[in-house]
Structure 1
Amino acid sequence: MRPLPPEALPVIVAARRTAIGTAGHAFKEVTADRLAAPVIQVVARDVACLGVPIDDVVLGNCMGPGGNLARVSALGAGLGEAVPGATVDRQCGSGLAAILMAGQAVASEEMELVIAGGAESASTAPLRAHRESPDTPYERAPFTPAGHPDPDMGAAAEALAAARGVERERQDDYAGASNAKAVAAREAGRFAAEIVEVGGRTEDQRPRLMRPASLSRLPAAFVPGGSVTAGNSSPVSDGAAVVALTSERLRAGAGLPGLRLRGGAVVGCDPALPGWGPVPAVRRLLGRTGVSMEQIAAVEIVEAFAAQTLAVTDALGLDPLGADRERVCADGGALALGHPWGATGAVVVTRLFTRLVRSGAPPGTLGLATAAVGGGLGVAALFEVV
């Protein structure tokens, strides 16, 4: 986004999500649109006080049935036939990219109120096959064309761990800490206000205390003799999260607190090391906005792998196992909660909203959300409490 005066910047005034379920379990029969629709419906009620219609719904999704999932979800939420819907695929950055796109529409004054986020149902995602070999499953779309690196994300996390010197012990320590923080947050009720009941579930399925000895015994999951295991990797998950973005004029008129979207960045990086993407994305974003990392009070990074998260935080000068433990993913992240690909970028924004707005952080407090993307991309967004 180009630099704009504060009064012209879009503001998030509501943020909700489903509980997150492990694929094949809590939401095993709930399609992506049926995950998204109840959350959209609640967010629409949250912002009814603004007194203006919802202009659009923008949703990220990676592995769904195709078509315009956002339109299907908007109709399912009862928003009416006039709300169009747009579906975004930036893989694991889709939910955050959708929020940035919605913010651009509000900042340009083309729209006044947009609901944006993401949804993913790995449990019900259709199985695909090539026409010439219908009995052979089509594993995934390529992240790059022939002649470019195209690693699976687990192998890419191993390569990044090796390239940046992230040892197995630190990965296990970080995964254990993420789960411990999430368990504590759940028990303290810090997730309750953001979760919309779907299928009777109001709590995340996965977070649990993990003993260091148990983590250390797990074998390498992707590369023989490697350091990335099932214990320090995020699980495949189902879930949805959305936010409402509006103008500062409408926010102030309604007297709502919120998160001003100060800026966003989407960049490319080496597709052989896609987990590195948040580093150039955050650096570009901070350079554009004139903000230093020291000024940011809350950081939410999509924890796809402990190796990837630590490589990124090391490069950005953060110490999530030490001085920045309560600054980076203070209530745990995707390693503990789960990683619903198309939704996870919106989940971290919803977490920022709870950490900063619902907790009553003072105006001017800054928060950062960022995600790495298969194929070599990074997405980042900077927010400010208003």
Structure 2
Amino acid sequence: MAANNDPVIIAARRTPIGTRGRALAHLRVEELAAPVIRAALNDAEVTHGAPINVADVILGNCMGPGGNPGRVSALAAGLGHEVPGATVDRQCGSGLAALLDAAAAIRAGDPRMRIAGGVESASTAPVRSINGKGYDKAPFAPAGFIDPEMTRAAEDLAVHDQLSRSRQDEHAARSHARARAALTAGRFTAELVPLGGLEHDDAIGGAERLLTRLPPLFPGGTLTAGTATRIGDGAAALVLAGPGSGPGLGLRASAVTGCDPALPGIGAAGAIQAALDSAGLEMKEIAAFEIVEAFAAQSLAVLDRLGLKDDDPRLSADGGALALGHPWGASGAIAVVRLFSRLVRSGAPAGTFGVAAASIGGGMGIAVVVEVVR
């Protein structure tokens, strides 16, 4: 059973993920986040059986326009000016970091419900500049450290771990096949809030048939556009309640760890192991994993370090970010929405465990262990 002081996620919703520049490209961050905040809160009120007074809204975001998207989105969702908001930037782990911040407030003794999640509009992200000169990537490490661009880092990791082109292609194809099967079976329907005319993730199956024919992104390399996730626009929202709530996912344990900034893709492995150690659990006891797939090479490197097989049925069983897309600041929260559907909505029994995790630019990892409560 979940520990008595575990906060519980009682509702979880997300937008479909739109590839950057496509269906959701015209929507600002608050226009992405507000509908899922509202939908998740409505779900929670049905579960709770009464209106909910939200104590805070905490959202992850990496490249937004400033102005505190958490607060702006809370106002846009109609929660009232008395509901505060905050924004967390831990890059690709931002959505999970927001969840951990909300959980920490409840564990500290304030049992009021909170909304946590993430949002990213890569399509409307402003251009950053220094002295009038624009740049795409802020530094993830100071001078003196190797600080590769993420695509370069994935290629370097493939070389470091001797990950073949064929193995990467197979991993991406598996992600697409699982996502296509889930879409056909309707396993995404209950978690999605259709938006901007988009009813499902638009990257599913998009590159699957071309995988073996795509050229490498670097001369002599193994990484291709098909084994790198599509950058996306999207949002996710989770309603977090105090101990003893349910049905839902109790937050059993979490961890944030560091690794070599030159190989940031391995970060999730250390965080997952640390979170499992904190929970007193072993890998074999976990029924469902959702590990953000930024690149096939990065995902495979994490699996190898954890001792998991490439085709482990517990891993992103309905497809991961290689198929669904990757809206940076939202992806960690989307991973938890996926766990909520796979475990709570599917009727998994109380005491079933899941793990959500992400590797993070700059050499970090973040993970959370959840447990079904009924």
- Give the TM-score, by structure 2 length: 0.96
Give the aligned partner of residue 358 of structure 2: 371
Report the number of matched residues.
370
Does residue 188 of structure 1 match 2:185?
yes
SS in 2 for 1:8: coil
Q: Which runs of 5+ in 1 are unaligned?
A: none
Residues 210 and 71 (structure 1), Cα distance of their counterparts in 2 relative to 1, 3 Å cut: closer
Give secondary structure in 2 for the equivalent of 1:231: helix
Alignment partner of 1:313 out of 279, 300, 303: 303
- Following superposition of structure 1 onto structure 2, how do residues 73-222 of structure 1 map, counting pairs within 5 Å? 73-131=73-131, 134=132, 136-208=133-205, 214-221=210-217
After TM superposition, give the deviation of residue 140 of structure 1 in Å. 1.7
Look up the match of 2:234: 239
Q: Which has the larger displacement, 91-100 or 162-171?
A: 162-171
Superposition deviation, residue 115 in structure 1: 0.4
Contact 2:172 2:208 in 1 (8 A): no
1:75-123 deviation per Cα after TM superposition (whole angstroms, max 9, x unaligned): 0000011110010000000001111111111122224201001000000
Which residue number corresponds to residue 334 of structure 2? 347
1:186-335 alignment, distance < 5 Å: 186-208=183-205, 214-221=210-217, 223-249=218-244, 251=245, 256-321=246-311, 324=312, 326-335=313-322
TM-score, length basis structure 1: 0.93
Contact (CA 8 Å) 1:38, 1:196: kept in 2 or not? yes
Decide whether the 8 Å contact of 1:55 with 1:111 is kept in 2: no
Deviation of the 1:179 alpha carbon: 0.5
Deviation for aligned residue 1:128: 2.3
CA contact (8 A) 1:62 1:341 kept: yes
The whole-number CA distance in structure 1 between the counterparts of 2:369 and 2:98 is 15
Report deviation, 1:130.
Answer: 1.6
CA–CA distance in structure 2, aligned partners of residues 295 and 199 of structure 1: 40
Matches within 5 A, 1:352-363: 352-363=339-350
Query: What does the per-residue CA deviation read over 1:29-51, in whole Å, with 9 as the maximum and x for residues that have no partner?
Result: 10111100000011111122534
What secondary structure does 1:72 align onto? helix
Opposite residue 148 of structure 1, the aligned amino acid is F
Distance 1:290 1:260 in 2: 15
Structure 2, unaligned stretches of length 5 or more?
none
Match of 2:14 in 1: 17
Matched position secondary structure for 1:125: coil
Q: 3-state DSSP class of the match of 2:24?
A: coil
Question: How many Å apart are 1:320 and its aligned residue?
Answer: 2.7
Tell me the distance in 2 between the aligned counterparts of 1:333 and 1:211.
13
- Residue of structure 2 in register with 1:38 after alignment: 35
Distance in 1 between the 2:211 and 2:197 partners? Answer: 31
Give the whole-Å Cα distance in 2 for the aligned partners of 1:79 and 1:151.
Answer: 41
AA aligned opposite 1:306: A
SS of equivalent to 1:277: helix
**Is the 1:183–1:209 Cα contact (8 Å) retained in structure 2?**
no
Percent of aligned positions that are identical: 55
Contact 1:180 1:209 in 2 (8 A): no
3-state SS, counterpart of residue 227 of structure 2: coil
Once superposed, what is the RMSD of the aligned Cα atoms? Answer: 1.4
| Residue identity opposite 1:364 in structure 2 | G
Distance 1:39 1:365 in 2: 26
**Cα separation, 2, equivalents of 1:385 and 1:302:** 21
- Letter of the aligned partner of 1:360 in structure 2? G
2:100 partner SS: helix
Q: Which amino acid aligns with 2:43?
A: D
Q: Which runs of 4+ in 1 moved over 6 A?
A: none
Letter in 1 for 2:28: T
